[in-house]
Amino acid sequence: MMKLRTLLIGLATAAFSALTLAQTPIVIKFSHVVAADTPKGKASEFFARRAAELTKGRAKVEVYANSALYKDKEEVEALQLGAVQMLAPSLSKFGPLGVKEFEVFDFPYIFDDYTDLHKITQGPIGASLLLKLEPKGIKGLAFWDNGFKSFSANTPIRTPADLKGKKMRIQSSKVLEEEFRTLGALPQVMAFSEVYQALQTGVVDGTDNPHSNLFTQKMHEVQKHMIITDHNYLGYAVIVNKKFWDGLPADVRGQLEQAMKEATVYANKIAQEENDSALEGVRKSGKTAIYVPTRDEKLAFKKAMIPVHAKMADRVGKDLLQAIYKETGFDPAKL
């Protein structure tokens, strides 16, 4: 009798443990540095929702916005160590990791618009760039758009000369550094989460970002002027810890891949709208004067910045640069 009771208790405990294990979701921490109401913030929430639906709760994506877990420099390291499973760093963040080819996205005016950009990010060149992350223990899943950058400062910017001697915040990218030096500005590398305060206290004079980043960080409250130059593209690669990803049950991984596919369509659909409405928000705030340059004024910025292409070609690889030119039809000699 006693033996049967022990056996039954044992069986019940085993069944309960198996059930609990089956119900314990696989947690995916998704960390990022921007506000929740940005293209990246919204797309990561979309992904979390679809991941829960498609895996029927077997995977749980926890999104941490606004550098709540990690700042720029730390987040990729945390992913490599497995402390966080998923990120969407800006493409500039992979240069410092040693994958310098990604800094080609920092070349000024290399993409005229999103159509040009997608020829790279949604095509074979983009896919081959993502593969370059694998030796670093990183798997690249997708490219998500943000948008094109504008300069801001406390003094009006009409010509490239207006940036001379200005301390400008940049991301850690050798190409961006060269770009600002070419303009005669003084580039200062700084984490995204520190930019607002640096602008407010005058540690830097200005910055550049897509409108959605400027507006959601309230940078327009501490900058008096901006000019719509669209001089650089800023977007993201969604990445995961490769070991973690490869170790997922195949069916769950497939469902997450599907969720990522849908989130990518969504991200790239809303990016332009989000940036347009952010610019409208800046306009309505009345705090920052927005200057739209004439065609000739914009051309002057292009001409001033284009020497960066020749100067930095070796850093990203001449072949890669030529392959992008060929794909988009961009010719720096024809400005």
Within 53-72, which residues bind ligand LMR (CB under 6 A)? 72
Binders of ligand LMR: how many residues, by CB under 6 A? 10
d(CA 216, CA 33): 12
Which CB sits closer to ligand LMR, 180 or 192? 192
CB of 88 to ligand LMR, least distance (A): 7
Which CB sits closer to ligand LMR, 232 or 255? 232
Within 184-243, which residues bind ligand LMR (CB under 6 A)? 192, 209, 213, 234
CB of 58 to ligand LMR, least distance (A): 29
CB of 211 to ligand LMR, least distance (A): 12
Residues 22-41, one symbol each (x = binds ligand LMR by CB under 6 A, - = not), give -----------xx-------
CB of 146 to ligand LMR, least distance (A): 6
Which CB sits closer to ligand LMR, 248 or 271? 271
Is 150 one of the binding residues for ligand LMR (CB under 6 A)?
no
Which CB sits closer to ligand LMR, 183 or 237? 237
CB of 199 to ligand LMR, least distance (A): 12
Which CB sits closer to ligand LMR, 55 or 152? 152
* All residues at 6 or more sequence positions from 239 whose CB lies less than 8 Å from its CB, including other chains: 76, 79, 86, 87, 88, 89, 133, 138, 139, 140, 141
Which CB sits closer to ligand LMR, 54 or 104? 104
Within 158-177, which residues bind ligand LMR (CB under 6 A)? 171
CB of 223 to ligand LMR, least distance (A): 14
Residues 90-109, one symbol each (x = binds ligand LMR by CB under 6 A, - = not), give x-------------------
**Residue listed under structure tokens 């983009």:** 126
CB of 9 to ligand LMR, least distance (A): 53
Handedness of CA 14, 18, 21, 23 (dihedral sign): negative
Chain positions contacting ligand LMR, by CB under 6 A: 33-34, 72, 90, 146, 171, 192, 209, 213, 234
